[in-house]
Chains A and B, each alone.
Chain A
Amino acid sequence: MKKLLLVILCFLLLFTARVFAQNRTVTGTVTAKEDGLPIPGVTVKVRGTGVGTQTNTSGKFSLSAPAGAVLQFSFVGYLTIDISTTGKTVINAVLTQNANQLGEVVVTGALGIKHAEKELGYATADVTPKELTATAATNVANGLTGKVAGLAVYQLDNSIDPTIQIVLRGNRSLEGNNNALIVLDGVPMPSALLSSINPNDIADINILKGAGAAAIYGSEASNGAVLITTKKGAGNKATIIYQNSIQVQKVAFYPKLQTEFGLYGGEPSNNQTTGFANYVPWENQQFGPAFNGQLVPLGVPLDSAGGKQIMVPYTADKVSPIEQFFQAGVTEQNDISYAQGDAKNSIYISAQNAYTTGVVPDDKNIRNAFSVRGHHTDGIFSADYSVGYTRTTINTYIANNNPLGIPGSYVTTAGDNDLYSSVLQLPAFLNLAAYKNPNADAANVSNFYDAYAINPYWIVDNARRNEQRDVLLASLKLSLDPTKWLTVSYHLSDNFGIDQERYTKAEADFTPYSISAAGNDGGTPGDFAQTGKSLGSVYDVYQFGDGTNNNPGYSRIQGDALVDLHPTLSKDFKTDLLLGNSIYQEYEKEQVTGSSALLVPNFYNVNTISGQPVAGEGSLLIRNISFFGDLNVSYKGFLSLEGTLRNEQDSRLAAAERSFSYPSAKLAFVPTDIIPALKNNDILSFAKFYGSLSRVGLINIGPYEIENTYNIAGGFPYGALGGLSANNESYSPTLKPEITTETEIGTELAFLHNRIDLDFSYYNSFDKNQTVTITTSTSTGYNYSLLNIGETQSQGFEFQLTGQVLTQAANNFGWTLGGNLSINNSKVISLLPNINQLYLGDDQYAVVGKPFPMLEGTDFLRDPQGKVIVSPTTGYPSTSSVNKLFGRTTPKNDVGITSSWTYKFVTLGAVFEYRGGDVSYNAIGQTLTFAGSSQYSASNGRQRFIYPNSVIQTAGTNTFVPNTSVAVADGNYGFWQTSPASGVMSPYVTSGAFWQLRELDLTFNLDKFIAQSKFMKGLSVALTGRNLFLWVPKENTYTDPEFSDTGSNSATRGTNDNNELPPTRVFGGSFKVTF
């Protein structure tokens, strides 16, 4: 708005200014330092006069100025610079962004409507493309982590295709979606699609933190919104940018493992009470005798009863087999973009290839992205259009936690073997190199030494998931500006994708010897005694939706009709009334076909199988119609009031509950613009105070979840006989949306000529009608019940401080330091009458008066002092019948520290992040202890020991005496595997705290070395690193506490297991050339 006013003003001035005879014409182009792109609308003034102009849409200006005059270039959000015209008729100015110039920054807010930041009555934060892409993260979300107070990015696993959650201000909903809404150029889209966006296409990311900020986007934005604006074409002369980055990914953190003991798995032929264990050459567990350096047999004789016996030294390898298994992954990205534009037309074209190999052998992720965006103006008519197409192909092993539960290996009687748990069970003395070829003599399915697990390289080679995602994002916006007080526009957008997955598992053929009693030791091949083979399988999943394999992942078509009335009623009042209607439809359809009984080995087609194929389908449809109004009134620029009202009708709700409305009101006050004492103040440059009160409805109900249904009963149909069985979840047509009511206050302050910025905000939100699927006693008739219950509170503080400690201009050395802190307190106020606790899933609960979700689980039986009670005869602890509340699983405190140092053309940037105040359940620890491979399981040298700090209950009384004499009956297999408390959860619950060096980059801006070049406009080279160091409390010997086996939309978090590969660090280099 302000830009427009300036343009008008400038024109007026031009008409009135006197033109001096000795004037001459100066021309030039103004570009941005950050991306080298021309900037339209820059004010160019002859300093000390009223004479000036503005750059056109290609960043060019032409101005008549007196000889020797100094031109001043200014533009909102950029530092103003002065350039002398002495001896020049062509002046090309380069403007540097000034993120600190508060108030003047224009924010692309809800529905693409631009507001000056000082008019906003709610908390926002901005992330520039430079910050976003400093370390060349392939996923936009990874580029945001640690940079914004209140924004938490959770990378839930470390696969070749990781799951990412973006959460603003912690959890509000007990069980529903707490993810921020992602809005790309005004179009809402699923957060999973971020992985399909080329980060280099992004011009700006604006984060609307609270419910109030996003009220206008409707129920989907009740958890805040991340607004992404993509780059537009500009500049009469085309700008071409080419970038390349190559990064290496290596495992940074392994679980702590024991390196002393070999194979034994509780065979009854060993004496269980003394802890003495014989070495068992075919075991999968490591409770055997200590390593002694002698040669021991491994597995049974190969190929026949009298065959070759593999003998290996019984000594731990220098590098554990787990570390031997993981390799270095490589990511290479190549980007090219083309931008050009003039007053009427502009175009931006980009292409990217990102090629990633994983830390697991043969894992690949290839992304090719193309996009075209343009703008056209003709009189009062204008059109914006964009098309983006991304194809991602992923080739990886079949993980057992795949959404369809397709087995990742040949299924044995002992259950499925998945990759990471197979790797975790490898004993320390195993030389893994000998097993890399799963067809090799000792490594093949028949001869593999382990009777109960399978060679992980067999999974890598033979159980594959190939996925191809095609995503199309298209948008067309037509606008009319028939008069100065009215703009009408219609925005039509469509995003959809097709996700095709194929799971293939090879046939495994076993030799007759291996399936005989002597050859299999009762283990895996013996399970196939009858047929001697495990047939191959193929499953095809075809999903029309958002182009991810998320379930649900909807395609979306949306139409927004907007009328923007901005009449000038008085010179002091600026009014803007937006009226709109939004209709969207989301649709997903999925089909699965497959078989686990392929007839021809290595021929993967469901047409050639024995028996019946597996087939299934499902589709989901959501329709939503909304009407809304948004009134902005600003008085002399220092006092702004905004009011919104929205009505929504949604197909997920029953007809009687379908329509709901919610309002919001926001106020912003800028004293530095009106109070004379504060104007032009050397200390306080800018101050804004704001507050808002908003209410948002949130539908956390899936389609059709208002009526009970029936499923095919187990085993049916038998011939023509059909059978149905009630679904295990109970629904009700009376379900309503959740209602969030949020109060927010905050301030934005700038000091010392904008060198220091301080943002502070406080929010307090209450969520009523929580939509929760509670796990019910099956005696209710159902395992689950979907309900509106109770109320929760989420309240917190956010601080964001940025300061230019040293400015490069003044000191040759520039240092910018930023810090952000967010503290989130959540509390369950009420649940159901007389019910203090509800199970939410994943060992997590909602407990009245406590934060949510709370991790709760089994603990040892303890005396009133909390000491573990052990049996006076066996010395074993037992399991308490009362579960322990361990703590919240979402971080309470999140700190980000960003810093950048610049000297001459070199910039060093770093981002640190801390999270804490939460707990994490490392189920992976239980896998490791089962395998006997964890350091914890060897913490007492496998000898009998007195359980530390334990007590014994005096017979028949409630008194407890310290246990000084009763050692555990068996300090080896007996204690770790079969003692009464061996399955207790508490030893594996650790603090979720961590410090992580998220980003480190060393950038060399080589522009000045190529200044003479005709064809190159810019050149920079950088060394980059992400997640280089992870610091966790000593008790956490397992993994990155950010990892979790919960899904991308899950409200629960903080429970990792062997489905998450170990954390990695990424480092490499990049270069960027601008032509």
Chain B
Amino acid sequence: MKKYISIITVFFTIGIAGCKKGYLDQEVNPNSPSVTTPQYTLAGAEVASASIIVNDYPEYGVWAGYWCNANDYVPNPTLADFDISLTNEPNDAWDDLYPNLTNYNNLQTTSAAVAADANFQAIAMIMKAYDFEQLVDNYNNVPYSQAFQPSTILFPSYDSGQAIYADLVKQLDAAITLIGSSSGATNPGTSDVIYGGNMANWQKFANTLKLRLAIRQSNLTANTAQADLASTASIGYIDASSEADCQPGYSQTLGKENPFYVTYGFDQNGNPSFGHLYYEANVVAVNIMKTYNDPRVNYFYAPISGSIIGDQLGATKTNPQAASFIGTGLLQSPGQKAILFASYESDFLQAEAAARGWISGSAAALYNQGITDSFTDLGATGAAAYEAQTSVTYPTAAATGLTLLQTEVQAIITQKYIALNGYFNLEAYNEWRRTGYPHLPQKPASADQGALSATLPTRIPYPYSEYTTNSTNLNKQGTIDPYTALIFWATATNNFTN
């Protein structure tokens, strides 16, 4: 019997010999790190933010009258027919912005626990506000207070767009204060591919974003953002020397080109990319610039035999390949910087705020500065002559049927519209929905006979992914008619006056 017991024992000993301590401890993933550093997260997230601005909003460029689909391609129903349905989503902004926000949110949370990482924390807060503003401007109510809690909240409820705006202002104030009180904290240095760790510029970025949030709510009677402008006015705003440009080292290498250049220009071999062949000049923006003798038209679009030819969205095209593609002012090189917040946008925001009396300063001077900065960015010359034209000069008297302020805003938004061409289509579309400006010589609608609406969409629906993943909360937002529903800051009364 003993013999057999010993045989059994030996057998099991062989079996268990492999079970050394730690034999089963294989949780650590050898393929992807489970830790990151604030530097790596920041760099990754900033580059992604820059891509979103240029990649996600081509439809707004089409609807805003900058571009239209080129004639050799079958019209995209969403673009030309305004056919926006569950399966025809205009863009991926939702599913790009939230993952980008995840990284900023993680950065904010982890940095908050380390005093020396206060600068990272502040940048994360500012960029969160930057991304969330885009979400609200695209969709109105979106998950905010219940977002980013995957272990407890799988179905985040939606916060009102207005409440989110209000909190973003607080977050920006807090970020400005945090930077001011963290002089000894680690500088992000080169990992900050926007400002290279210049924290004073980040304060300006935050302050300019606050200004944008305030201006955007100009139609509302209660504008808390406006009331808060004074508290940080001394910080100043983005100017030509502090423009928020992302430059991680874009180059003519597969996957490392400037996102705008590769999407709407050329690939690493110099072959035209899909976006370049698909989008061409829209007669709406071409005509408005021609009206003002604007030399920038030759930079936004590529001349054909010396002239710029635009097409009308959705129109029957009789002369294939005769419209201008996107021009060299926007497509400078594969290594060009990606603009997140342009100095001219800041100038025009300040001009409008000054005109409204919300901040001090000369609206006319800021207006001219905006035009000048736009010329500079495009590599165009002749800004001074352009500004000197009667049709362009900052208005000093009310136009017929308008108040002086309305006249000033119209001028500012019209020039802002020209300046934003291509680079920040969402912002142009936003301002158009807010103010109804610019008055365009030709209606930015579709000439396609199959178009579902005579006017532009005023809102895009929530993405299909929300229908499949968060339908209960989504359904609480009610039915959204893309042609009549409005973002909270847009009001029907003063919209689309043309």
> Which residues of A come within 8 Å of B, CB atoms?
265-269, 272-273, 413-414, 480, 482-483, 486, 488, 490, 517, 521-523, 526-531, 535, 559-563, 579, 581-583, 597, 611-612, 617-625, 649-652, 654-655, 658, 703-704, 706-716, 718-719, 721-728, 730, 732-733, 774-783, 785, 787, 832, 834-835, 837, 839, 858, 874, 878-879, 881, 883, 969-970, 974, 977-980, 983-984
Residue of B at shortest CB range from A533? B269
B86 in the interface (beta carbon within 8 A): yes
Q: A268, B27: Cβ atoms under 8 Å?
A: no
Q: B16, A883: Cβ atoms under 8 Å?
A: no
Q: B27, A726: Cβ atoms under 8 Å?
A: no
| Docked CA distance A105–B442 (Å) | 88
Residue of A at shortest CB range from B101? A781
Q: B254, A839: Cβ atoms under 8 Å?
A: no
Q: B86, A879: Cβ atoms under 8 Å?
A: yes
Q: B26, A703: Cβ atoms under 8 Å?
A: yes
* Listed residue (B25, B30, B472) with the most chain A CB atoms within 10 angstroms of its CB: B30
What are 28 A-B pairs with beta-carbon distances under 8 A?
Answer: A268-B71, A268-B75, A268-B317, A272-B450, A482-B4, A522-B320, A561-B11, A622-B26, A651-B24, A651-B25, A655-B24, A703-B29, A707-B27, A707-B34, A709-B32, A710-B34, A714-B44, A715-B256, A719-B249, A723-B248, A781-B99, A781-B147, A858-B86, A858-B87, A969-B450, A983-B85, A983-B87, A983-B88
Residue of A at shortest CB range from B46? A723
Q: Top 5 nearest A-B pairs by Cβ distance?
A: A713-B44, A522-B72, A723-B44, A561-B15, A718-B249
- Indicate whether A529 sits within 8 Å of B71 (C-beta atoms), given known contacts A611-B254, A621-B26, A779-B142: no
Q: A709, B271: Cβ atoms under 8 Å?
A: no
Interface size on B, residues (CB 8 A): 108
Q: B14, A839: Cβ atoms under 8 Å?
A: no
**Whole-angstrom distance between the Cβ of B17 and the nearest chain A Cβ:** 9
Residues of B within 8 A of A652 (CB): 26
Assuming A704-B29, A704-B31, what are 19 further A-B pairs, CB within 8 angstroms?
A269-B318, A522-B70, A526-B277, A527-B277, A530-B269, A530-B270, A559-B15, A621-B30, A623-B26, A625-B19, A651-B24, A709-B34, A715-B248, A723-B41, A723-B45, A779-B147, A834-B472, A881-B467, A984-B87
Residue of A at shortest CB range from B97? A778
Residues of A within 8 A of B466 (CB): 777
**Whole-angstrom distance between the Cβ of A70 and the nearest chain B Cβ:** 45
Q: B34, A522: Cβ atoms under 8 Å?
A: no
| Docked CA distance A779–B101 (Å) | 9
Residues of B within 8 A of A708 (CB): 34
B291-331 CB contact bits vs A (8 Å, 1 = yes)? 00000000000000000000000011110110000000000
Q: B86, A724: Cβ atoms under 8 Å?
A: no
**Whole-angstrom distance between the Cβ of A95 and the nearest chain B Cβ:** 38
Q: B8, A563: Cβ atoms under 8 Å?
A: yes
* Listed residue (B26, B153, B320) with the most chain A CB atoms within 10 angstroms of its CB: B26
B91 in the interface (beta carbon within 8 A): no
Q: B8, A522: Cβ atoms under 8 Å?
A: no
Q: B72, A776: Cβ atoms under 8 Å?
A: no
Q: B40, A724: Cβ atoms under 8 Å?
A: yes
| Docked CA distance A527–B28 (Å) | 45
Residue of B at shortest CB range from A562? B11
| Docked CA distance A969–B448 (Å) | 13
Choose among A530, A779, A879, A970 the residue that contacts B271 (Cβ–Cβ < 8 A): A530
- Indicate whether A723 sits within 8 Å of B47 (C-beta atoms), given known contacts A611-B254, A718-B256: yes
- Indicate whether A710 sits within 8 Å of B277 (C-beta atoms), given known contacts A488-B11, A780-B156: no
Q: B25, A728: Cβ atoms under 8 Å?
A: no
Residues of B within 8 A of A839 (CB): 468-469
| Docked CA distance A563–B321 (Å) | 82
| Docked CA distance A724–B468 (Å) | 28
Residues of A within 8 A of B469 (CB): 774-777, 839
Residues of A within 8 A of B155 (CB): 777, 835
Residues of A within 8 A of B430 (CB): none
Choose among A486, A521, A650, A709 the residue that contacts B24 (Cβ–Cβ < 8 A): A650
Choose among A482, A563, A581, A984 the residue that contacts B16 (Cβ–Cβ < 8 A): A581
- Indicate whether A978 sits within 8 Å of B75 (C-beta atoms), given known contacts A517-B321, A530-B270: yes
Residues of A within 8 A of B71 (CB): 268
Q: A528, B36: Cβ atoms under 8 Å?
A: no
B106 in the interface (beta carbon within 8 A): yes
Choose among A651, A725, A832, A879 the residue that contacts B103 (Cβ–Cβ < 8 A): A725
Residues of B within 8 A of A562 (CB): 11
| Docked CA distance A837–B75 (Å) | 36
| Docked CA distance A483–B466 (Å) | 68
| Docked CA distance A778–B105 (Å) | 13
Residues of A within 8 A of B34 (CB): 707-710
Residues of A within 8 A of B7 (CB): 480, 482, 486, 488
Residues of B within 8 A of A267 (CB): 74
| Docked CA distance A858–B89 (Å) | 14
Residue of A at shortest CB range from B269? A531
| Docked CA distance A881–B478 (Å) | 11
Q: B154, A272: Cβ atoms under 8 Å?
A: no
| Docked CA distance A523–B154 (Å) | 45
Choose among B3, B24, B149, B156 the residue that contacts A658 (Cβ–Cβ < 8 A): B24
Choose among B81, B86, B271, B470 the residue that contacts A528 (Cβ–Cβ < 8 A): B271
Residues of A within 8 A of B74 (CB): 265-267, 977
Residues of B within 8 A of A560 (CB): 15
